[in-house]
Amino acid sequence: MREAVTLSDVAREAGVSPSTVSRVINGTARVAASKREAVLRAIERLHYRPNIMAKGLAQGRSLTIGVITQEISSPYYAEMLKGVEQALEGTAYHPIFASGHWRVDQEEAALKVLVGRQVDGLIVMDGSVPEERLKELAHTMPVVVVGRRIPGLQCLGIDNRRAAYEGVQHLIELGHRRIAHIAGPTSHPDSIERLEGYRAALEDAHIPFDPALVVVGDYMEQSGVLAVEALLARGALFTAIFAANDQMAYGANVALYRRGIRVPHDVSLVGFDDLPSSSYFTPPLTTVRQPGPAMGWEAARLMLALLEGRDYTPKPLSTHLVVRESTALIRSTGALAAHLLT
Amino acid sequence: MREAVTLSDVAREAGVSPSTVSRVINGTARVAASKREAVLRAIERLHYRPNIMAKGLAQGRSLTIGVITQEISSPYYAEMLKGVEQALEGTAYHPIFASGHWRVDQEEAALKVLVGRQVDGLIVMDGSVPEERLKELAHTMPVVVVGRRIPGLQCLGIDNRRAAYEGVQHLIELGHRRIAHIAGPTSHPDSIERLEGYRAALEDAHIPFDPALVVVGDYMEQSGVLAVEALLARGALFTAIFAANDQMAYGANVALYRRGIRVPHDVSLVGFDDLPSSSYFTPPLTTVRQPGPAMGWEAARLMLALLEGRDYTPKPLSTHLVVRESTALIRSTGALAAHLLT
DNA sequence: CAGGCACTTGACAGCGCTTTCAAAATCTGA
DNA sequence: TCAGATTTTGAAAGCGCTGTCAAGTGCCTG
């Protein structure tokens, strides 16, 4: 473990003072060209790399941005993290992640870890830590919130209601009238908004809302299969399903497959998110695209702006329907009923 | 942005010296019970949180472990990262990630970023940075390598050859003899090993190896569809496909789906990895399971051991075949040919 | 009761870098 | 040519914490 070369080593080598070396490295003040050259050469020669912790200590900042996600291995968050990573590339900042696992206590723990690591700013993705807690943190450092709307904080997000509306509208246009909805957890604001969008689309098409057609899941694949089984078990008749996210749509799809119900032949299926794998799904999934990487990117850019005291208006995050092959014109209202009878 | 409370604040509040506070926090020496109490109360009262950078500077370590992956949003790496995260939970260390994007230069850049961030150790997942470079780094800090075998370094990985052998053997047992292989990039050692396993299984079953049945992809979904198209275009006859990873299997599956070739009815499909989504795939994918989280976990535990100078023998990472619904007994050798003729 | 021992404790010198302040060097213009 | 303005430079004081060292405390033993 060889000794690290320090700024003073460079200074000695270059025949100047440490202050001067610091100045040329950070460009904090003018330095005579000759000395600058000498310093740069010395840095080169000694393979000097600044110690970021010392720098952090001295400047009172860590050049680190904390990102709270719910689950680092979830494809949905992975997309956003990728955006964050890209936005920070080439800047002096680096992201550091911690996961809340959809549990308030773990989220709080994650928050503590990041704060303890002296992050200069915090990006919070979804989650259910109390608003007050985040506002309190915002007194200490810039906070950007993705996927929640908290008055007084910088928030980023899509119009879930409208996006869901579009997805359901698509099914209606294909002639479907009995459309089931696999909702997300009722504790998530976005699930609620998507449910609202679903209801609004039905209403505008004069289709009565049938509570028996909605079942709530937890955004994981397994809950999608459970949802379809529940639907089928209660004898619900439907020719289409709108799932509140792609992962539950995946689950719904296997459940239907197992029953011999074909998508989209017998039942049309619409998801939400457009995960990368959705276009390679069989059948390729029709879904409402949510710009994951862009959300991460904008959150990170906004954070950088806050840190540098700049103004920044994030680009609006828009969603749009991606029509693939899991939806089709309704065939016959009796199709599913027939299946159920066999 | 309120002022942070420091260790000296605590010391003053508790009426002891900073050294004593440090000692009770770190448990580095015995402290009289009464003083310890006082300190703990002061910490509580002031909401003191140690400044990790100062600590790092003083101790010459950052309590940070750098992890190089190829792509943070790839489900394969996400699994391993999750394992790393879990293994480090509750320890003083925290992971920090950087991505190489399968490009040597970017990987080198990622390495530089992490080293510049004073990571105490480095976990390198796959990648193609020169062995020499890693060995050089290993003089400076502990290095754990996952997915590559580099003499002289701590390496972790599965037996790709054997794992692939098992997957192909399964197909052979189902009666398949014309088994195509979608290989990974030839620059990856693991792709090569999997190809070897494929060939060995054929050989042991006295099935001649047919180069026309193997096409190389790049481990991404799209290359799976391209591969199947290439196979079909060149008129290759096959009743089964062994893909070198699940993502390419997904691609292969859509490509077959588009052609009206049914899995597993017409063609059986075996993947490699067992990504979380593979069990929700339609049909649920038969695949060789690779213990992603365990690999991350073991790598992290090994790293901790190295950092603490302990001995640690990682548990062997074993793979096993997970039979789901994408494979079936061969129906008739002519099935695919019939399809091709239509 | 003095001497010796084992613990506790606090002072202080860094860790590597930034940043202020004032001195030194350089440049103006009359 | 020199006073004064301006720029460049170095000394030094931290940033918040750790860890060494020596002084201080109490206790046991002879």
pLDDT at A337: 53
- Mean residue pLDDT across chain A: 93
Domain boundaries, chain A: 7-50, 64-156+292-317, 160-285+324-341
Q: What H or E segment, with its residue span, contains residue A156? A: strand A154-156
Residue A332: pLDDT over 80: no
Instruction: Decide: helix, strand or coil at residue A199.
Output: helix
| A149 part of contact set with chain B, CB < 8 Å | no
Tell if the CB–CB gap between B72 and A51 is shorter than 8 Å: no
Same fold, A7-50 and A64-156+292-317: no
User: Strand C nucleotides below 7 A of a protein CB?
Assistant: 7-12, 14-20
Taking the CA of residue A154 and the C1' sugar atom of nucleotide C25, their distance in angstroms comes to: 50
The confidence band for B1, taking pLDDT boundaries of 50, 70 and 90, is very low
Cβ atoms within 10 Å, residue A97: 25
User: B62-156+292-315: what fold?
Assistant: Rossmann fold (3.40.50)
Question: How far is residue B96's CA from residue B299's CA, in Å, rounded to a whole number?
Answer: 14
User: Strand D nucleotides below 7 A of a protein CB?
Assistant: 7-12, 14-20
pLDDT at B340: 52
Residue A336: pLDDT over 80: no
Cβ atoms within 10 Å, residue A99: 26
Q: What are phi and psi of B270, to 5 degrees?
A: -125, 135
What is the CATH number assigned to the segment(s) B7-50?
A: 1.10.260.40
What is the CATH number assigned to the segment(s) A64-156+292-317?
A: 3.40.50.2300
Question: How far is residue A67's CA from residue A64's CA, in Å, rounded to a whole number?
Answer: 10
Taking residues A293-311, report their average pLDDT. 95
| B265 part of contact set with chain A, CB < 8 Å | no
| A312 part of contact set with chain B, CB < 8 Å | no
Cβ atoms within 10 Å, residue A45: 12
Question: How far is residue B166's CA from residue B107's CA, in Å, rounded to a whole number?
Answer: 32
Taking residues B237-262, report their average pLDDT. 96
Angle (CA) A165-A169-A172 rounded to 5° is: 145
CA distances from A54 to A10, B92, B111, B224, B328 (A): 16, 19, 20, 48, 61
CA distances from A175 to A168, A264, B255 (A): 11, 13, 28
Cβ within 7 Å of strand D: which of A 224-283?
none
Taking residues B231-252, report their average pLDDT. 96
Taking residues B82-110, report their average pLDDT. 95
Q: Is-cis flag, bond preceding A283, omega within 30?
A: yes
How distant is the Cα of A129 from the closest Cα of chain B, in angstroms?
Answer: 19
pLDDT (tens digit per residue) in B290-314:
999 999 999 999 999 999 988 999 9
Closest to B10 measured CA to CA, from B77, A299, B20: B20
The confidence band for B341, taking pLDDT boundaries of 50, 70 and 90, is very low
Closest to B243 measured CA to CA, from B127, B163, B341, B332: B163
Residue B216 forms beta bridges with which residues? B183
Q: Is-cis flag, bond preceding B264, omega within 30?
A: yes
- Mean residue pLDDT across chain B: 93
Instruction: Decide: helix, strand or coil at residue A67.
Output: strand
Question: How far is residue B257's CA from residue B338's CA, in Å, rounded to a whole number?
Answer: 16
Single pTM value for the model: 0.92
Instruction: Decide: helix, strand or coil at residue A73.
Output: coil
A130 class by beta-carbon count within 10 Å (0-12 exposed, 13-18 middle, 19+ buried):
exposed
Taking residues B168-182, report their average pLDDT. 97
DSSP string, B284-305: PPEEEE--HHHHHHHHHHHHHH
% of chain A with per-residue pLDDT over 90: 91
Q: Is the CB of B35 under 7 A from strand C?
A: yes
Crossing angle between the packed helical segments A18-26 and A33-46, to the nearest 10 degrees: 90
What is the CATH number assigned to the segment(s) B160-285+324-341?
A: 3.40.50.2300
Instruction: Decide: helix, strand or coil at residue B166.
Output: helix
Give the pairing of strands B286-289 and B320-322.
Answer: antiparallel
Segment 90-109 of chain A within 8 Å of chain B by CB: 94-99
For B116, the closest of A49, A95, A141 (CB atoms) is A49
Question: How far is residue A110's CA from residue A115's CA, in Å, rounded to a whole number?
Answer: 9
CA distances from A105 to A116, A133, A146, B140 (A): 16, 12, 19, 38
The confidence band for B337, taking pLDDT boundaries of 50, 70 and 90, is low
For residues A324 and A286, the answer to whether their CB atoms sit within 8 Å is yes
Helix (H), strand (E), coil (C) string for B192-258: HHHHHHHHHHHHHCCCCCCHHHEEECCCCHHHHHHHHHHHHHCCCCCCEEEECCHHHHHHHHHHHHH
